[in-house]
Amino acid sequence: LVAQLPAANRHQQTLLTELLATISNSGRLDALRKARYSRDRRNLHGEALDRALHEGHPYHPCFKSRLGFQGDDLVRYSPETSTGFRLHWVAIPRHNLDSQLPSSDMAFWQSELGQEQAYLLRAAFHRAGVDWQQYGALPTHPWHWQKLSQGPEAARLEALGIKCLGPLGDRYHPGQSLRSLFNASRPAKACVKLPLGIHNTSSRRHLEPHSVPSAPVISRWLESIVGGDPLFDTTYPLRLMPEYASLGVAAGDEQGADNSGLAGELAAIWRASIGSRLHEGEQAIPLNALFQWQPDGMPFIHPWVEHYGLVPWLEATLKAVILPVWHMLAAHGVGLEAHAQNSLLVARSGWPRALMLRDFHDSVEYARDYLPRTTPEPDFGPRQAFYDQAPDNQYYRMSNPEALRELVMDTLFIFNLSELALVLEEAYGFNEARFWDRVRTILTNYARQHPEQRSRLDRLGWDQPNPLTESLLRSKLQPDIEQPRHRVPNPLAPGPNDTLMPFIDHHHKRLP
């Protein structure tokens, strides 16, 4: 089959390798997972549920390729089977380190690690013969550090004076994204996002170098928008998991040395934990849990559907999930990458209360001429010139609101809620046309309730008949094409909904 695809032989072989790895890894991990864990996922939420969502991105053909893991690496560092591990620490000369911490080094480490582990970190510096005043500490993923220190970059690490400090601190569990790590020892503490040099789904799992020092800036910017609009607290409840600190090898040092080979490879971003954003009695459910099937043959959501009724629960869920993202786009001119792994439904006993979002450092967009007067551009301080001089569509600033619409519709509707629509049709006979009609009603009601946004909504073109969407498979077959896209039918377009195909044709999709 792969040999018949329109691509050069080398790209066919790359795709075949990833597909075979996905099949092999899925089989191996599923067998181990079933042997080790038998808990009903409906009893889980937050980080524990995130780790238990082994299905990956359902729309991506290479959702579990994880190229780079060898031998026991797959079991040790995959969320399905990992028993936890400590981070590996290094010391980096301060002139090579871009530090975006909310406090002094020692105050930060005492807060994050606790007094005892912060003391042990200082002791590790002493054992390595490293001056705390001249060097800064950085955690790394143990697998990633092993590959860096034993691979082609080893000489570069030595030339930069980077020192190994060894394992230290709390134990962490990998989340479903692999490189976001949850604190297993103290769950209320931060999630740490680290580069991981494997290839999974569409990309290598490093951190985009420019986004590491910008992560706290973007989070503060979003928090200021949410905090300044009372509708995000009352009508369109939205909670953010801010990325409040970051460290990373700078792309260049004060002497002009080029460190770009390690920028994004040695870095860390600290993100507020899920639990820190919940109130008593609330649960946080990653959105991709909503469309998973359980061993009893029913969807994850079945107890809630039975208790509240399908239509009332669905109506409340769609409003809770869609409207905060839509209001951020329409009223504030900011597009959020609200795909099912970045979004969590905050619920109490299964009834929706709010939307929680995470992972902003490289997944937020705005268009300068679409920002309202009340929403300023993000202020990157000393790095502002870097972004000002960059062309549109390279980083956060897009050339037009169409790009923002595409981001939101791709991640929220096409590659997210369409999966829930399928599950509801398969499990309950709730026709997809009815599902999208309800979504369309929610969006048109928003427009009716906000006449001041009419011209802004018109510019988005959300109801055009055939919007563009990302071509995930074509990007693998033809990687030289920048951002390959194709058109899909839009069930949100005006007209009889049942005359239009849904975003994704599920007719031949088999249930798990």
DSSP character string of 172-184: EEE-TTSSEEEES
Residues 268 and 367 in one domain: no
Residues 270 and 392 in one domain: no
Range of the domain at 357: 278-499
Rounded Cα distance between 28 and 22, Å, is 10
Rg (CA), the chain: 23
Amino acid at 362: D
In terms of Cβ atoms closer than 10 Å to its own Cβ (0-12, 13-18, 19+), residue 267 is buried
Chain mean pLDDT for the chain: 90
The region of weakest confidence among 65-74, 136-145, 326-335 is 65-74
CATH number of domain containing 379: 1.10.510.40
Asked if 263 and 28 touch (Cβ cutoff 8 Å), the reply is no
The residue among 60 and 281 whose pLDDT is bigger is 281
**Is residue 107 predicted with pLDDT exceeding 80?**
yes
412 and 335 co-located in one domain: yes
Question: Is 295 among the domain residues?
Answer: yes
Residue 81: band (very low, low, confident or very high) from pLDDT cuts 50, 70, 90: confident
Which of residues 277, 298, 322 is at a domain's end? 277
Check pLDDT > 60 for residue 57.
yes
Considering Cα of 341, then 345, then 346, then 350, what sign does the dihedral take? Answer: negative
Is 323 contained in some domain?
yes
Residue 63 pLDDT > 50, yes or no?
yes
Same domain, 247 and 296: no
Q: Residue 59: pLDDT band by 50, 70, 90 thresholds?
A: low
Domain count within the chain: 2
Mean pLDDT of the 328-357 span: 97
Query: From residue 432, how far is each of 238, 438, 492 by CA, in Å?
Result: 27, 10, 12
The answer to whether residue 9 sits within a structural domain is yes
Would you say the pTM of this structure is higher than 0.85? yes
Examine residue 106 and state whether it is found in any structural domain, yes or no. yes
Which pLDDT value is given to residue 1? 79
Same domain, 287 and 297: yes
Interior angle at CA 286, CA 506 and CA 205, nearest 5 = 85
Residue 480, token pair as written in the block:
């030289």
Residue 508 lies in a domain: no
- Is 354 found in the same domain as 208? no
Give the end of a domain, one of 252, 277, 302.
277
In the DSSP assignment, the letter for residue 503 is S
Question: Does 157 score more than 90 pLDDT?
Answer: yes
CB 492 within 8 A of CB 474: no
Same domain, 365 and 473: yes
- Shared domain check, 211 and 128: yes
Phi, psi of 440, rounded to the nearest 5 degrees: -60, -40
- Predicted local confidence at residue 427, as pLDDT: 98
Whole-number Å distance between alpha carbons of 344 and 355: 6
Q: Domain check: are 248 and 288 in the same one? A: no
Q: Which of 277, 297, 319 is the last residue of a domain?
A: 277
Is 492 within the bounds of a domain?
yes
Based on the domain organization, do 8 and 141 belong to the same domain? yes
Largest Cα–Cα separation, the chain: 73
Quick one: which H or E segment has residue 501?
A: none
Q: What is the pLDDT of residue 230?
A: 98
Mean of pLDDT values over 234-240: 99
Same domain, 40 and 73: yes
pLDDT at residue 499 greater than cutoff 60: no
In the predicted structure, residue 505 carries a pLDDT above the cut 60:
no
Name 238's bridge partners.
Answer: 355
Residue 504 in any domain: the answer is no
| In-domain check, residue 230 | no
- Cα separation, 56 vs 176, whole angstroms: 7
Q: In sequence order, which residues have a C-beta less than 8 Å from that of residue 348 and are 6 or more positions away?
A: 281, 282, 283
Pairing mode, strands 196-200 and 163-174: unpaired
Instruction: Read off the pLDDT of each residue in 371-380 and give the average, rounded to a whole number.
Output: 96
| pLDDT band of 512, cuts 50, 70, 90 | very low
In this structure, the answer to whether residues 310 and 392 fall within a common structural domain is yes
